[in-house]
Amino acid sequence: ELPIGRLSTKKDGARAAPAPAYPATRMRRNRRHDWTRRLVAENTLTAGDLIWPVFIKDGTNEAEPIASMPGVERLTIDLLVERATEARDLGIPVIALFPATDPRLKTDDGDEALNPDNLVCRGVRALKAALPDIGVLCDVALDPYTSHGQDGLLRDGHVVNDASVEVLVQQSLNQVEAGCDIIAPSDMMDGRIGAIRTALEQAGHVDVALMAYAAKYASAFYGPFRDAVGSTGNLGKGDKRTYQMDPANGDEALREVALDIAEGADMVMVKPGMPYLDICTRVKQRFGVPTFAYQVSGEYAMLAGAAERGWLDGERAMMESLLGFKRAGCDGVLSYFAVEAARVLKGG
Ligand code: PBG
C-alpha cells in the first residue's frame, strides 16, 4: 500500500496539471489541539505511581543539602514527618527511607543494621505514628552500616553470599518489627528473597510486601546516593560487580526476576531506570507482575544539574522522564522528583 495518495486528474482531455501528492494518513490531526492530544494519550502519570526516596540523619530540625543532588536534602526525623505529610496530601503512596548513618557506628559486619533503635527504625516508627495511611519502604543491604561500604559481609576481600543472607534476614525482621510495610532488598545476594520471605512467614509477618531489587545493575549512576548516605569514602576504589549485574546483559535480568518471583517477591524493580527501559518493558511483558523502576541518584543529578544551569527546562524534562517509565510498562517509579512531580500534577 502506498503511503502517498493522488488527487484525481481531469478527464476532459485537457492536459492535467501534475497531481499534487498528499499524505493518505494525517497523523497530525490527533495532535492539533490540546483536547485531541489529551483524548488520544495512551499513558498517564499520577501521584499514585510515585515512591519518594528520602535520606535521613540524626538530630533535630536540620536539613542538610547534598551537593551532587541539587534540591535534595538529608532530613532529620522531625522534618521527615513534616515533609512526608505534604507527600501524603499530594497522593504519594509510599516513602522509602535511606539512613546517613553516623560513621562512628559503621563496622566491618554492619551490626548497626540490626539495632532496633537505629536511624531507619526510628524513622519508620515516627512515620507510622504520624501518618498511618502512607506506606513505608525500607531498603535491605548493609552498605549504610559497613566500614567497607559493601552490601554484604566481606571475607578475605570477597562479599560472601550465604552468611550475608543470614544478616539481611535479620535486618529485614528488625525493620519490619519497627513497622516497615515494604521490604526492598537491594543487596543482590542469591536466594535472599526466599530466605526473607520464609523468615517473615515464620515470624507471622504475613502481610509484609517484598519489592525485590530484582534487576539491579553495577552502575555509575549510584554515585550521588553514595555521597548522600556517606558510603563513597568507605567503598573507596571498590565496586559491586561481583553481585550487581553487568550493564551488558538483558536476558540475565529476566532470570533474576523469575527467581525473585518464584522466591516470593510481590513486586519487582529494575534499577537504574532510564538507561534500562528495555529491561522494564521485557520484565513487564514477560511476567506481568507489578514492575517498578528506580530513577536513581545519578539520573536525578543529570536532570537537576542541567536544569539548575538553565540547560534544560527542568519541569518538562522531569515529567517527560517519569512518563517514559509508564510508557515502558512500569507500574510506578521511585524518584527523588516524586514530590515536585506530584505538585506539578496537582497543578501547583
Ligand atoms: C544500597 C543501595 C544503593 C542504591 C539504593 N540502595 C547504592 C548501591 O547499590 O551502591 C542507589 C540508589 C540511587 O543511586 O539513588 N545497596
124 located within any domain: yes
Q: Which is it for strands 209-216 and 267-271: parallel, antiparallel or unpaired?
A: parallel
Rounded average pLDDT over 119-132: 98
Of ligand 1's atoms, which has the minimum distance to the CA of residue 297? 15
Looking at residue 15, what is its pLDDT?
66
Q: What tens digit of pLDDT does each residue of 155-187 get?
A: 999 999 999 999 999 999 999 999 999 999 999
Mean pLDDT of the chain: 95
**Cα–Cα distance, 164 to 137 (Å, whole number):** 21
Q: What is the CATH number of the domain that holds 159?
A: 3.20.20.70
Give the pLDDT of residue 237: 83
Decide if 90 is inside a domain: yes
SS3 202: helix
Distance 99 CA to ligand 1 centre (A): 11
Interval 239-280: pLDDT, tens = 999 999 999 999 999 999 999 999 999 999 999 999 999 999
Decide if 142 is inside a domain: yes
Is residue 140 within 8 Å of 209, Cβ to Cβ?
A: no
Q: At 254, phi and psi to the nearest 5?
A: -70, -35
Write down the pLDDT at residue 19: 72
Name the nearest CA neighbour of 68 among 55, 51, 79. Answer: 55
Q: Whose CA is nearest to atom 12 of ligand 1?
A: 296
* C-alpha cell recorded at residue 344: 506539578
pLDDT at 36 > cutoff 80: yes
177 is in an annotated binding site: no
Ligand 1 pocket by Cβ (under 6 Å): 139, 141, 143, 151, 186, 222, 225-226, 240, 296-297
Average pLDDT over residues 282-302: 98
Q: Does the pLDDT value for residue 291 go beyond 60?
A: yes
**Residue 177 falls within a domain, yes or no?**
yes
How many domains, the chain?
1
Cα(229) to centroid of ligand 1, in Å? 9
CA–CA gap between residue 87 and residue 81 (Å, rounded): 10
Give the residue, out of 106, 222, 297, 299, with the most ligand 1 atoms within 8 A of its beta carbon, to mutate for a pocket test: 222
Residue 289: Cβ-neighbour burial (10 angstroms; 0-12, 13-18, 19+): middle
Give yes or no for a cis peptide into 272 (omega within 30° of 0). Answer: yes
pTM over 0.90: yes
Residues 6+ apart with CB under 8 A from 84: 54, 95, 127, 130, 131, 134
**Catalytically active residues, by annotation:** 216, 271
Distance 181 CA to ligand 1 centre (A): 19
User: What is the predicted pLDDT for the residue at 193?
Assistant: 98
| 222 lies in some domain | yes
Q: Using the mean position of ligand 1's atoms as its centre, give its distance from the Cα of residue 141 in Å.
A: 9
- Spatial neighbors of 153 by CB under 8 A, at least 6 apart, are 109, 110, 142, 159, 160, 163, 164, 167
Which residue's CA is minimally distant from atom 5 of ligand 1?
186
What CA–CA distance (Å, rounded) separates 18 from 332?
54
At position 142, the amino acid (one-letter code) is L
Q: What pLDDT is stored for residue 231 in this prediction?
A: 84
What ipTM describes this predicted complex?
0.98
Q: How far apart are CA 227 and CA 183, in angstroms?
A: 23
Q: How confident is the model at residue 6 (pLDDT cuts 50, 70, 90)?
A: low
219-242: per-residue pLDDT in tens?
999 999 999 998 888 888 889 999
If you measure from the C-alpha of residue 233 to the centroid of ligand 1, how many angstroms do you get, rounded to a whole number? Answer: 15
Which is it for strands 154-155 and 158-159: parallel, antiparallel or unpaired?
Answer: antiparallel
> What was the pLDDT predicted at 10?
55
Residue 248 lies in a domain: yes
Strands (E), 148-249: 154-155, 158-159, 182-185, 209-216
Please state, in angstroms and rounded to a whole number, the distance separating the CA atoms of residues 313 and 48: 24
Question: Residue 17 pLDDT > 80, yes or no?
Answer: no
pLDDT of 332 above 90: yes
Give the tens place of pLDDT for each residue, 92-115. Answer: 999 999 999 999 999 999 999 999
So what's the pLDDT on residue 8? 52
In a domain, 30, yes or no: no
pLDDT at 296 over 90: yes
Q: Average the pLDDT over 199-219 and give the result.
A: 98
156-178 in b/e form (b: 16+ CB < 10 A) is eeebebeebbebbbebbbbbbeb
The CA-CA-CA angle for residues 241, 244, 248, to 5°, reads 80
Return the residue whose CA atom lies nearest to atom 10 of ligand 1. 222
> What pLDDT score was predicted for residue 249?
98
State which residues form the domain around 237: 48-346
Domain assignment present for 199: yes
